[in-house]
Amino acid sequence: MEVDRTLRLLWRRALGTPQGSRGPKQRISVDKVITAAIAVADEEGLPAFSMRKVADRLGMKLMSIYTYVPGRSELIGLMVDEVAGEQDLSPHEGDIRLRVGRVAEQLWDEYHRHPWLLQVESSRPWIGPNGSDRYEWQLAAIEGAGLTDLEMDQVVTLISDFTAGAARTSIMSRRTSEESGMSDAQWWEINAPVLDQVMPPGRYPISGRVGTAAGEEYNALGDPQRLFRFGLDRILDGIETLLKRNGHL
Amino acid sequence: MEVDRTLRLLWRRALGTPQGSRGPKQRISVDKVITAAIAVADEEGLPAFSMRKVADRLGMKLMSIYTYVPGRSELIGLMVDEVAGEQDLSPHEGDIRLRVGRVAEQLWDEYHRHPWLLQVESSRPWIGPNGSDRYEWQLAAIEGAGLTDLEMDQVVTLISDFTAGAARTSIMSRRTSEESGMSDAQWWEINAPVLDQVMPPGRYPISGRVGTAAGEEYNALGDPQRLFRFGLDRILDGIETLLKRNGHL
DNA sequence: CCTAACTCCGTACACCTTACGAAGATTGTA
DNA sequence: TACAATCTTCGTAAGGTGTACGGAGTTAGG
């Protein structure tokens, strides 16, 4: 079963080398394949990520990659767990606000370092060593704060979901300015004639006002970092409210 | 410029029919193309969504579709604004908790009705009529609650980002159970030997305990609806805290 | 020593988007 | 009425994609 093989690849370090194979030794290693694959995805994004490009980068031919990993989607699973291992999981310090904040910021950084993470659409969420270690570390941030086990899982999910959503917005806006090959000014210049015709003054009273305010404060496209911070602070307030209600804090 | 053409397609109803073209009349309409495209995406997801399938569904040949829309990514932009128009934007009622809750639930429903929305990776966020109307409506939910213009934008973004993140988790878990062709039990049966070997008891003290609790409460895969509700309630608490701090409520 | 098992990889197939141009339909205008 | 301009439809082809299959060569176990 391919599931089994992929799982063994995920936990390859814990399982040790699978001695005694007959044919010629592999020229490179799964780790090299994964590293090259991550580099390709970092540079070009997941849609443009292809087995051919991974092979090229390694100086091998396309079909050889398939002796290292079962296929494209399994390789992506391996990449996801690999980058989950880049984080610093040193013991938590400070009050719960700081701890939980750090959990969120770590995810935020990871998404920005590897924007393709948000394009991953696995049909099976692989359980890998780095993902498992991180989940344990995330829970440790709120261990002993007075939450039930169920609430602990829910809080970590809340933080993860919000951060993923905010990072998605941030990355899409970044892609917009980088990759569209068009400055904001140019874009508005092209669109203005149509939009002026179709959005007469007064048609959007609130968004007109709010959009202007927001546009002036953070410039035009929104300041994703600041939006993230605002949302995170509200969520931390909400978590503190829950702790108070539970009789802690 | 293709930007201009797409924008005109987005606002086609407001702009009226562009009279006086010379050649033969078009056999169908942009609306029919968009509707067919949405149906394909609903059924098969965005990766499997192709121009050919849209053409087939309409009884036309592949290249004819390109006389209606500039290309695949522009068609997707049109689809996004189209489904944004399915919502009921009737006036808000109830207190702010209810209003904001309804904003979130509406997005939640939309993502579940059209899961491919979360797979969209536009390089330009098109400004369409339905998206604009909805943003106005979302702001109206918190108009007059005592927030600054900037805070209003930030609150709507917070709700949108969290909902997108939670919906993403929910949809991925739904896809997992549907599409993997494998029940949870089967999956664990295959994985158990490897995981047992590699995650010895005590290796993950907190996640072991929390995972068990969560698994028992909502069964095994997590109950996305309930996780969404929990997160939303925390965020609403956080927003109320902000209002109190601002001197309202 | 020889065969089983492995690596590497060429070829092929079935998909994808879209550029280009041909063929035919329609309309505005001379 | 004629005819050019302009449009729709669509065939073809180029350049991508993932991966099934099988062949050639290499290595280690029995």
CATH, residue A67: 1.10.10.60
- Position A158 scores a pLDDT of 98
For chain B, the first-to-last Cα distance in angstroms comes to: 50
CATH, residue B142: 1.10.357.10
Sign of the dihedral defined by the CA atoms of residues A60, A66, A72, A73, in that order: negative
Domain termination residue (choose one: B84, B108, B133): B84
- Position A222 scores a pLDDT of 66
Do residue A235 and residue A135 come from a single domain?
Answer: yes
Do residue B58 and residue B108 come from a single domain?
Answer: no
Domain termination residue (choose one: B84, B115, B145): B84
The residues of chain B scoring below 70 in pLDDT are 1, 18-20, 123, 179-185, 218-222, 249
What percent of chain A has a predicted confidence (pLDDT) above 70?
93
- Structural element, H or E, at residue B140: helix B129-140
Please report, rounded to whole angstroms, the spatial distance between the CA atom of protein residue B130 and the C1' atom of nucleotide C25: 36
- Position A221 scores a pLDDT of 55
Work out the minimum CA distance from A184 to partner chain B, whole angstroms.
10
Q: Which of B171, B18, B163, B37 is nearest to B105 (CA)?
A: B163
Convert the pLDDT of each residue in A47-64 to its tens digit.
999 999 999 999 999 999
Do residue A108 and residue A177 come from a single domain?
Answer: yes
- Position B211 scores a pLDDT of 85
In whole numbers, what is the pLDDT of chain A averaged over residues? 91
Q: What is each CA distance from A188 to A193, A217, B14, in whole angstroms?
A: 9, 18, 19
Indicate whether A203 belongs to any domain: no
Counting the structural domains of chain B, the total is 2
Nearest to A238 among B4, B169, B234 (CB): B234
Sign of the dihedral defined by the CA atoms of residues B11, B16, B17, B20, in that order: negative
Indicate whether A190 belongs to any domain: no
Query: Would you place residue A180 in the very low, low, confident or very high pLDDT band (cuts 50, 70, 90)?
Result: low
Indicate whether A211 belongs to any domain: no
Indicate whether A34 belongs to any domain: yes
Domain termination residue (choose one: B46, B64, B84): B84
- Position A4 scores a pLDDT of 86
Do residue B110 and residue B175 come from a single domain?
Answer: yes
Query: Would you place residue A190 in the very low, low, confident or very high pLDDT band (cuts 50, 70, 90)?
Result: confident
| Chain A, window 129-148: residues with a beta carbon less than 8 angstroms from a chain B beta carbon | 129, 132, 135-136, 139-140, 143, 148
Nearest protein residue to nucleotide D20 (CA to C1' distance) is A63
pTM: 0.94
Do residue B73 and residue B101 come from a single domain?
Answer: no
Do residue B55 and residue B101 come from a single domain?
Answer: no
Indicate whether B100 belongs to any domain: yes
Distance CA A122, CA A129 (A): 17
Strand D close to A66 by CB, under 7 A:
yes
Domain that holds residue B105: 96-183+220-245
Do residue A68 and residue A119 come from a single domain?
Answer: no
Residues with Cβ within 8 Å of B22's Cβ and at least 6 positions away in sequence, in order, are none
pLDDT of A220 above 60: no
- Position A3 scores a pLDDT of 77
- Position A81 scores a pLDDT of 98
Do residue A110 and residue A226 come from a single domain?
Answer: yes
Convert the pLDDT of each residue in A23-36 to its tens digit.
899 999 999 999 99
- Position B82 scores a pLDDT of 98
Convert the pLDDT of each residue in A71-113 to its tens digit.
999 999 999 999 999 999 999 999 999 999 999 999 999 999 9
